[in-house]
Amino acid sequence: MIDLYTARTPNGYKASIALEEMGLDYTLHALDIMANEQKEPDFLAINPNGRIPAIVDRDNGDFAVFESGAILMYLAEKTGQFLPTDVKGRSEVIQWLMFQMGGVGPMQGQANVFFRYFPEHIPPAIERYQNETKRLYTVLESRLKDHEYLAGDYSIADIATWPWVRIHEWSGVDIDDLPNVQRWIDQIAERPAVQKGILVTPPPPEKEDVKNASADEVKDRMKNMVQK
């Protein structure tokens, strides 16, 4: 049994999708990141960086794993799924996994912040991160032109990248000129485990002050959370 600590974010979906794809039993612990539950001492004991997702493998001496890429590798090695065992195949998957971890995630994350949440409208920052996200998408497009998935067969590289690229519109990045990326998004979206993995985490309980807040007030709270 694995304890999964997560929330409804692209990084959080990586772990829940992987657990569903691999058929592992897990207990879901949904954290309210708007309320900074990921900064509470109990969670910091699992992940000192105070970020979701994290897992605790109860079948392996309560072993804790944080960082979404590390979680994917741990689960893949634990189950022997979605990560080849031959040296070249394994390296190829890890290369594309690191491409997401070091490129798509950070750049698109900053695009989200400056496009959606930052208290000041700073066009050069928005343009910088949207352009870099689009450039990374063109790398994916080139790869997917001749490959069904990022590293041959469906792998943890796809599981890591898909939750981010699927929300490209939220980052203000258009993919109309990237047909292979769109095909890949749609194809993975059809997988039953993926569908379950993005729905299994419920939204945090709606507090009365949030329920009665205006759209601008909710947006301001999101901005404050990002700044913190």
pLDDT at 208 over 50: no
Residues 6+ apart with CB under 8 A from 170: 112, 116
| Residue range 108-165, pLDDT digits in tens | 999 999 999 999 999 999 999 999 999 999 999 999 999 999 999 999 999 999 999 9
Q: Which residue has tokens 């960086």?
A: 49
Q: Which residue has tokens 């729905």?
A: 199
pLDDT at 71 over 50: yes
Structural domains of the chain sorted by starting position, each given as residue range(s) with its CATH number in brackets = 2-81+197-219 (3.40.30.10), 87-190 (1.20.1050.10)
Whole-number Å distance between alpha carbons of 193 and 15: 12
Cβ atoms within 10 Å, residue 53:
28
Sign of CA dihedral 32, 165, 82, 91: negative
Q: Which residue has tokens 């695009």?
A: 111
| Residue range 72-111, pLDDT digits in tens | 999 999 999 999 999 999 999 999 999 999 999 999 999 9
Whole-number Å distance between alpha carbons of 4 and 16: 8
Residues 6+ apart with CB under 8 A from 73: 83, 94, 97, 156
Q: Which residue has tokens 């960082």?
A: 67
| Residue range 12-40, pLDDT digits in tens | 999 999 999 999 999 999 999 999 999 99
